[in-house]
Amino acid sequence: MLTDSASAELVKYAANGFLAMKLSYVNAVAELCERLGADILDVTEGMSYDRRIGREFLNPGPGWGGSCLPKDTQALLQVADAADFEFRLMRASIDTNTRQRQRMVDKIRLAVTGNRNGSLTRTRVALLGLTFKAGTNDLRDSPALMIAALLRQAGAELVGFDPALPTAISYPELEGIELVADAYAAVAQADAAVVLTEWPEFRTLDWPRIAAAMGTPRVIDTRNLLDRDVLTRAGLTWTGVGRRQPSDTTVLAAQ
């Protein structure tokens, strides 16, 4: 594609901005699912059959991060501001992403204390996954670390494991997090285990062993990575994002 320099610059910013908006949108829809008793997996599957939407970037999670989306969305706002254009849609997408991190902390509070405003002081929280996505050791703008910072501010004691982060290396970004060598060490005596990165190997962990090792056997799965039935049979309580609980009724069907 041959174009002018201004258009070429905007191609990259606009593409990553669109992906960020799509992720913020699906995270907002996931919250709506929780309030209505719907299930985000069914909703996104139905959406994906529309070829204009597709299947990519329709997985809810703890928020988007990494080396590109945060940088390029901010750059797009700066370009818009310089052109005296108020890009409200992009700003709202960024605000939604920031709110998503706090929403995950509230979900953890509720799971641990039974109250969205409950105290996490001196609770032990195991963080499974710290990089911004699976398949990388990149910690830049990782939503896992943003959530960890909020949990630390709330008084929680944090222990973490990530397959891409050897414990022999010191990571300044992990200040306040005890990094351990495997998931089993992370969950020992924990009040909750929180899945923050979608590493596929987490699916094959020995979940009965984890349930026995934890102080309280509960998992908050911010990536909807794990099989709820597998964890339930292992004796753990599982909480996902935008997922209908087995006891929920479908509000929309009754209306």
| Positions of E strands within 37-170 | 124-128, 157-161
| Rounded Cα distance, 216 and 212, in Å | 9
Q: What number of CA atoms fall less than 13 Å from residue 131's CA on the CB side?
A: 14
Can 68 be counted among the known catalytic residues?
yes
**pLDDT of 206-239, one tens digit each?**
999 999 999 999 999 999 999 999 999 999 999 9
Q: What angle do CA 205, 226, 68 make, to 5 degrees?
A: 105
Q: Rounded to two decimals, what is the model's pTM?
A: 0.92
Domains annotated for the chain, with CATH where assigned, are 5-98 (1.10.1040.10), 103-239 (3.40.50.720)
- Give the model's confidence band at 245: pLDDT under 50 very low, under 70 low, under 90 confident, else very high: confident
**pLDDT of 14-47, one tens digit each?**
999 999 999 999 999 999 999 999 999 999 999 9
Q: Which residue among the candidates 19, 68, 150, 188 is catalytic per the annotation?
A: 68
Helix axes 69-82, 88-113, angle to 10 degrees: 140
Instruction: Provide the token pair at 44.
Output: 């996104």
**pLDDT of 109-164, one tens digit each?**
999 999 999 999 999 999 999 999 999 999 999 999 999 999 999 999 999 999 99
- Give Cα separations from 241 to 7, 40, 106, 225, 251 (angstroms): 37, 8, 12, 10, 18
Give me the phi and psi of 215, to 5 degrees please.
-65, -45
- In this structure, the number of other CB atoms found within 10 A of the CB of residue 140 comes to 15
